[in-house]
A and B are shown apart, each in its own frame.
Chain A
Amino acid sequence: MEQVLEKLNTDYEHGFITAVEQEVFPKGLNEDIIRMISRRKNEPDFMLTWRLKAFAAWQQMKEPDWAKINYPRIDYQNISYFAAPKKKIESLDDLDPEIRATFEKLGIPLKEQEVLAGVKGAPVAVDAVFDSVSVGTTFKKTLADLGIIFCSFSEAVQEHPELVEKYLGSVVPVRDNYFSALNSAVFSDGSFCYIPKGVRCPMELSTYFRINASGTGQFERTLIIADDDSYVSYLEGCTAPSRDENQLHAAVVELIAHENAFIKYSTVQNWYPGNKDGVGGVYNFVTKRGLCKGNNSRISWTQVETGSAITWKYPSCVLKGDNSIGEFYSVAVTNNHQQADTGTKMIHLGRNTKSTIVSKGISAGKSSNAYRGLVRISGKAEGARNHSQCDSLLIGSRCSAHTFPYIEVKNNSAVVEHEATTSKVSEEQLFYLRQRGLSEEEAVSLVVSGFCKEVFLELPMEFAVEAQKLLQVSLEGSVG
């Protein structure tokens, strides 16, 4: 078993650095920097006002310390808040070959005739974000024919300011929390998506985030609006080079589902987790929230979290519309010295609202993995239902798993169920599988894939395979 744990420590395969000429803002954070970002992006006034409001709020806030994570103080004045490739990009054809090669290496297609590496079948529209800027979006024309807007956030600010002004901050207000306030002040790009009434988006939309520059933070913003009776399935992926320093990533994602709309949001998070001694790695402080605004709307979060030195993330649903549905399916893997404090919040406001939580935490090495979830049933949420299932799997004896469920019920008609289990990959299971010819790593990977099955079934099929592979890689050398 110990040896398997040792073997699980494989290298992070996306750890390379791209040599590309970059424009990087001086380190530090103040109003001038925020004005520079806004000017550089040629933003309308409302954006600058909004950013400054967020900055003022942030300055009065305290970094939260309630999560089960430990990290040295972050010096927010020692980070650069903007980095972009120097070369101006007019179309995907102008893309710096180095950057194109980077995405190719990662298996992300930036030509429309291509499909994701290892994925057969349906095309996927991709928005690629390199450090602080979006470097290209595919299939824009095909989607535009249906009235779907899928572009970088910067472009949305220019082309659709009325939508941005209307929805930005409507789910995660600037004062929501320390990291979202920071993001609101300095975010530089991200993806924007609008699905018009009655349209079913015919392909997966995907954003791929890549941190490259050193000494910078990445702060992206994603805003997805699904108008009445529409449907969209959206996937985000992320990687970063292996560096000895810790890089800060503080993103905000806002989803709005109008009447009868369904947004399916899947994440495969693979930021650099640091080396096996815990040096380096991304600090991932992310605020993700969806608002089921209309009646009968539905938002489903699926996440596979394998990367980052620290993960602090609670994709949530505010179930405002009557009969609306919120779902959260999560696999969080920690190995070596990784720390994850992740879970969800389901806020039931409307009548007959339903939520489902399935969380699978896998801890290996010396890592710590915590599930933290809130289910709140408000007084008016007549007939609300929640079912939560939190399972933890331990590999080896030096890791830990924690579950912090919070339940607040203010309506007597609510039905709230919570189940939790903790299990270990047992010596018996490993012996059994190895006696059938599987190597110890294959054995662990099979047990783990069985454990995660319910969540993988929720992933778009194209990505389930990728997620499975990623899981295998993350656990290589982790069995212990």
Chain B
Amino acid sequence: MLEIRNLHAEVDGKPILKGIHLKLAAGETHAIMGPNGSGKSTLSQVIAGREDYTVTQGEIIYNGRNILELSVEERAREGIFIAFQYPTAIPGVNNMQFLRTAVNAIRKHRGEKELNSGDFLKEARYAMQQLDMNPEFIKRAVNDGFSGGEKKKNEILQMYMLKPRLVILDETDSGLDIDALQDVSRAVNQFRSPERSFLVVTHYQRLLDYIKPDHIHVLFDGRIVKSGGPELALELEQSGYDEIKAAAVL
């Protein structure tokens, strides 16, 4: 599904990613953990193609194709989705109008018919129910005046509607209370399938109790310094990142 080879990226001339290697097979869920400033969010945005970052070396192979040449929207239409840590508000644009525009842009790319408003609403209502969202949400302006938890749920609603193949959850657990965390995790787990892969970027073990990863990678100073199974999260939870930082300095 996704293979990252020796990825180096910088912003304003400052190197952030310094040689990332990562392999994610279809159906797998990997977690990326690491302290603040280690490059976790940069990695998500570089995979999505944000132009503020310059890739200086390496490749990102997605479904057998190097996607570095593709624009943000082309990658999105190919099935790459980020659930953002800080989703942006679009005042005056209602969620439904926005979601339908997005769903249809992606369907068009896949050569599918536009979704009519009846089918669209039916699907959206079902997803919102799963996420324990108030149906009125669909009429509100995108992320405008939403609470932190509402924004995160709205991201997962979009994931559900857009049906991506590679989902990056960027600190989705931050700002969620335990109920919301459970709603979100349940929806994500339901969405997991042998064709879909997840990259879960998180600070804490907490989210991984609900969304169980197959592998965990620890990112520090722009490199993956340690990889392992789910047990690695527990180790980190106990010992913190200090050991890793110390090891990296050596």
Is A277 at the interface (CB under 8 A from chain B)? no
Return the CB mask of A442-476 against B: 1 if under 8 Å, else 0: 10001101111110000000000000000000000
A432 to B90, CA, bound (A): 10
Is the Cβ of B72 less than 8 Å from the Cβ of A435? yes
By a CB distance below 8 angstroms, the chain B residues around A439 are: 73, 105
State which of B84, B97, B106 has its C-beta within 8 Å of the C-beta of A437: B106
* Interface residues on chain A, number (Cβ under 8 Å): 23
Chain A residue contacts of B91, Cβ below 8 A: 450-451
Known: A431-B72, A438-B105, A439-B73. A450 touches B88 (CB 8 A): no
A428 neighbours in B (Cβ, 8 Å): 88
Q: Select the residue from B76, B109, B162 with max chain A CB neighbours within 10 A.
A: B76
Contacts of B106 in A (CB 8 A): 437
Task: Give Cα A428 to B85, complex, Å.
Answer: 12
Mark out the residues of chain A between 202 and 228 whose CB falls within 8 Å of any chain B CB in the assembled complex.
Answer: none
Task: Assess whether A397 is interfacial by the CB under 8 Å rule.
Answer: no
Interface pair B88/A434, CB less than 8 Å apart:
no
B141 within 8 A of A: yes
Bound-state Cα–Cα, A428 to B51, Å: 11
Interface string of A78-91 (1 = CB under 8 A from B): 00000000000000
Residue of A nearest to B104 (CB): A437
Given contacts A435-B82, A438-B101, A438-B105, contact A449 B93 (CB under 8 A): yes
Q: Judging by beta carbons under 8 Å apart, are B105 and A442 in contact?
A: yes
Asked if A419 is an interface residue, CB under 8 A from chain B, the answer is no
In the bound complex, CA of A439 to CA of B108 (Å): 12
Which residues from A are CB-within-8-Å of B118?
Answer: none
Tell me whether A450 and B92 are in contact (CB under 8 A): yes
A450 and B93 contact, CB distance less than 8 A: yes
| Docked pose: A138 CA to B90 CA in angstroms | 42
Which B residues lie within 8 Å of A447 (CB)?
90, 93
Contact at B162–A436, with CB atoms within 8 Å? yes
Q: Check if A451 sits within 8 Å of B162, measured CB to CB.
A: no
Q: In the complex, which residues of chain A have a beta carbon less than 8 angstroms from the beta carbon of B141?
A: 450
Known: A436-B102, A438-B101. A449 touches B73 (CB 8 A): no
A452 in contact with B84 given A431-B72, A436-B162 (CB within 8 Å): no
Q: Across the interface, do B93 and A437 meet the contact criterion of CB distance under 8 Å?
A: no
Q: How far is the CB of B155 from chain A (nearest CB, A)?
A: 10
The residue of chain A having its C-beta at the shortest distance from the C-beta of B52 within the complex is A427
- Encode contact with A along B92-113: 1 for CB under 8 Å, 0 otherwise: 1100011001100110010000
A428-B88, A450-B91 known; A435-B101 Cβ under 8 A: no
**Chain B's nearest CB lies how many Å from the CB of A366?**
23
The verdict on A433 contacting chain B, using a C-beta distance below 8 Å, is yes
Distance in Å from the Cβ of B113 to the closest Cβ of chain A?
Answer: 16
* Nearest neighbor of B77 in chain A, beta-carbon distance: A437
User: What CA separation (Å) do A437 and B84 show in the bound complex?
Assistant: 15
Q: Which residues of chain A have C-beta atoms less than 8 A from B201's C-beta?
A: none
How distant is the Cα of A438 from the Cα of B106 in the complex, in angstroms?
A: 8
Contacts of B72 in A (CB 8 A): 431, 434-435
Asked if A432 and B88 make an inter-chain contact with CB atoms under 8 angstroms apart, the answer reads yes
The reply to whether the CB of B58 lies closer than 8 angstroms to some CB of chain A is no
In the complex, the answer to whether A435 meets B81 with C-beta atoms within 8 Å is: yes
Can you list, as one digit per residue, whether each of B156-193 has a CB less than 8 Å from chain A (1) or not (0)? 00100010000000000000000000000000000000
- Closest Cβ neighbor of B89 among chain A residues: A429
Kindly identify, within residues 35 to 54 of chain B, every residue whose CB is under 8 Å from any CB belonging to chain A: 48, 50, 52
Question: Cβ of B27 < 8 Å from any Cβ of A?
Answer: no
Beyond A442-B101, A442-B105, A450-B141, whether A435 also contacts B90 by CB under 8 A is no
Cα A453 to Cα B92 in complex, Å, equals: 6
Which residues of chain A from 380 to 436 have a CB within 8 Å of any chain B CB? 426-429, 431-436
Smallest CB–CB gap between A159 and chain B, Å?
46
- In the bound complex, what is the Cα–Cα distance between A246 and B143 (angstroms)? 44
- Asked if B87 is at the interface (CB within 8 A of a chain A CB), the reply is yes
| A6 touches B (CB below 8 Å) | no
Report the Cα distance A415→B203, complex, angstroms.
Answer: 52
Asked if A155 is at the interface (CB within 8 A of a chain B CB), the reply is no
A43 on interface, CB distance cutoff 8 Å:
no
Q: Is B56 an interface residue (CB 8 A)?
A: no
Could you give 23 example pairs across A and B, Cβ below 8 Å?
A429-B90, A431-B88, A432-B87, A433-B98, A433-B102, A435-B48, A435-B72, A435-B81, A436-B98, A436-B105, A436-B158, A436-B162, A437-B73, A437-B102, A438-B73, A438-B101, A439-B105, A440-B73, A446-B90, A446-B93, A450-B91, A451-B91, A454-B92
Q: Give me the 10 closest cross-chain CB pairs, A-B, nearest first.
A: A450-B92, A450-B93, A436-B102, A437-B105, A453-B92, A434-B72, A437-B76, A432-B88, A437-B106, A434-B73
